[in-house]
Amino acid sequence: MDTKATKDLQYWKNYASSLKIDARAFIDGKSVEAADGATFDCVSPIDGKVIAKVTQSGETEINLAVAAARRSFEQGVWAGLNPRKRKSAMQRWASLLREHADELSALETIDAGKPIGDTTSVDIPGAIYCVEWFAEAIDKVGGEVAPVDHHLVGLVTREPIGVVAAVVPWNFPLLMASWKFAPALAAGNSVVLKPSEKSPLTAIRVAQLAFEAGIPAGVFNVVPGFGSAGKLLALHMDVDCIAFTGSTAVGKQIMQCAGQSNLKRTWLELGGKSPNIILPDCPDLDRAASSAASAIFYNMGEMCTAGSRLLVHRDIKDAFIEKLLVAAKSYTPGHPLDPSTSMGAIVDTIQLERVQSYIEAGRAEASLLTGGNRTLQDTGGYYIEPTVFDVSNPAARIAREEIFGPVLSVLTFDSVDDAVRIANDSEYGLAAAVWTSNLTTAHEVSRRLRAGTIWVNCYDEGGDMNFPFGGYKQSGNGRDKSLHALEKYTELKSTLVRLR
């Protein structure tokens, strides 16, 4: 047995190169190639090398997957199962995922460039926990008996919707997918998942393991492919619900596709430009500074909740920035398979160029405090230094648009009202944070911030499943996580029985 101490860079490199990657679509209990044989290259951002040829799902594969999901749903092999049995199957699946945790972590790291220290401690355990959490709810959550006239019995029940499509991004490939498929499957639906073309490998593996654990054929299908495959799902007449995590621009298209087709239920978890407000009575400037650095540099800034707008009161600005720049140094990019690496690679060249173009815009409209360069180019991979700009104009592009990279805008304010106004002046409303020692200020500011998650004296806390997660405004609708997420994947039915 390997101990944790032996799992160094060389260990993980050997481990990753020994993986046998089956990157075919998983439809109706089988690994399948595209009917026309189409594949696309899965490139590792660690070094720019191709690590797998992935099935490129087209119309045929999407139709096959939706048909398999429909058939399994109508046959009741999953939806009609005794809830305890459905729970047991998901628990067996979670155990199998745990047995394969190293494999899944390594796949996630080589596919998306995330540090192995994060995939082994956050991404993969988080996804397994999500499966377990919703499995546990299956035989705990029931319906209601409504208080109606004595001659009636009124039942309010929740039923699975049917075929749920999930389209997910690449920043937390398996974790974001699990926030969809775990509650959707727990509620009894059959699922068709389209992972991002930039990070399809763990989703495919997890579907193979679901089948191995006894989840019946057709209940969980994975169709890797491009955005066009996601669009086919959004337009499909036999998909009952689409759950999407990704950009606001694509989210809008998904909603339009639902309107153009069968008015499928549409759940959107979209982008953000979250404000992190440091008031002058911040209880601990050192902790706030290291938290502000992690809020933007963790996961290379590829975070929907990234604290990408740091709002600092003028009186403490200089002192705070000094501490922030020290904290930023602990995010020097390194080899993602090295357990000591805290910052990995940007997911692909498209995202790399996007981040670089924002940095160029920033150089023109703000002053650069640190970073700003591509680094480790000799590796062939895609790495960017942690970058901080002092932005005097809140209307600057880098302070308004979601960059989805390690680029922080520092803005200055003079009063609480000022801070709240700047914070809320955004099309997004995913998350926000405020640092203060005053209990009243903490609650009042929390109430005034228009965002789905508010952190007080912390950032990015809440890794468990109890809290609903999602956005106000153009950060989306609906909520992932918590029992509220189960509701998204059910229809509400009223049944009235006349007794006499």
Q: Among residues 12, 181, 404, 435, which is the contact residue for ligand NAP, using CB under 6 A? A: 404
Q: What percent of the residues of the chain are helix, what percent strand, and what percent coil, each to the nearest 5?
A: 45, 20, 35
List the single partner that 111 binds among Mg ion, ligand NAP, none, CB under 5 to 8 Å by kind.
Mg ion
Residue 139: CB minimum distance to ligand NAP, A: 28
Which position among 103, 269, 302, 402 bears the catalytic label?
A: 269
Q: Is position 309 an interface residue for ligand NAP (rule: CB under 6 A)? A: no
Q: Is 269 noted as a catalytic residue in this protein? A: yes
Q: If we measure between CA atoms, which residue out of 136, 134, 124, 280 comes closest to residue 202?
A: 124
Q: Which residues contact 79 (CB under 8 A, 6 or more apart)?
A: 73, 160, 188, 189, 190
Q: Is 130 noted as a catalytic residue in this protein? A: no
Is 39 or 157 the residue whose CB approaches ligand NAP more closely? 39
Is 309 or 335 the residue whose CB approaches Mg ion more closely? 335
Map the footprint of ligand NAP across residues 92-151, applying CB under 6 A.
none
Half-sphere exposure of 412 (CA within 13 A, CB side): 15
Which position among 42, 241, 304, 402 bears the catalytic label?
A: 304
Q: Cα 317 to chain center, whole Å?
A: 32
Q: Is position 108 an interface residue for Mg ion (rule: CB under 5 A)? A: no
Burial of 457 (0-12, 13-18, 19+ CB in 10 A): middle
Map the footprint of ligand NAP across residues 242-301, applying CB under 6 A.
245-247, 250, 253-254, 269-272
Is 198 or 313 the residue whose CB approaches ligand NAP more closely? 198
List the single partner that 138 binds among ligand NAP, Mg ion, none, CB under 5 to 8 Å by kind.
none
List the single partner that 226 binds among Mg ion, ligand NAP, none, CB under 5 to 8 Å by kind.
ligand NAP
Q: If we measure between CA atoms, which residue out of 95, 74, 91, 72 comes closest to residue 83?
A: 91
Q: Cα 346 to chain center, whole Å?
A: 16
* Three-state secondary-structure class, residue 428: strand
Contact 61, 55 (CB under 8 A): yes
Q: If we measure between CA atoms, which residue out of 459, 137, 78 comes closest to residue 290?
A: 459
Residue 83: CB minimum distance to ligand NAP, A: 28
Q: Can you tell me the distance from the alpha carbon of 121 to that of 98, in angstroms, rounded to the nearest whole number? A: 12
Q: Is position 429 an interface residue for ligand NAP (rule: CB under 6 A)? A: no
Q: Can you tell me the distance from the alpha carbon of 119 to that of 107, in angstroms, rounded to the nearest whole number? A: 9
Map the footprint of ligand NAP across residues 171-190, applying CB under 6 A.
171, 176
Q: Is position 302 an interface residue for Mg ion (rule: CB under 5 A)? A: no
List the single partner that 247 binds among ligand NAP, Mg ion, none, CB under 5 to 8 Å by kind.
ligand NAP
Bridge-based pairing of strands 241-245 and 220-222 is: unpaired
Contact 446, 111 (CB under 8 A): no
Q: Is position 111 an interface residue for Mg ion (rule: CB under 5 A)? A: yes
Q: Can you tell me the distance from the alpha carbon of 115 to that of 298, in angstroms, rounded to the nearest whole number? A: 10
List the single partner that 270 binds among ligand NAP, Mg ion, none, CB under 5 to 8 Å by kind.
ligand NAP
List the single partner that 176 binds among Mg ion, ligand NAP, none, CB under 5 to 8 Å by kind.
ligand NAP
Map the footprint of ligand NAP across residues 472-491, applying CB under 6 A.
475-476
Contact 192, 65 (CB under 8 A): yes
Which residues are annotated as catalytic? Answer: 269, 304
- Residues that bind ligand NAP in the complex, under the rule CB under 6 A: 167-171, 176, 194, 196-198, 226-227, 230-231, 234, 245-247, 250, 253-254, 269-272, 304, 402, 404, 430, 471, 475-476
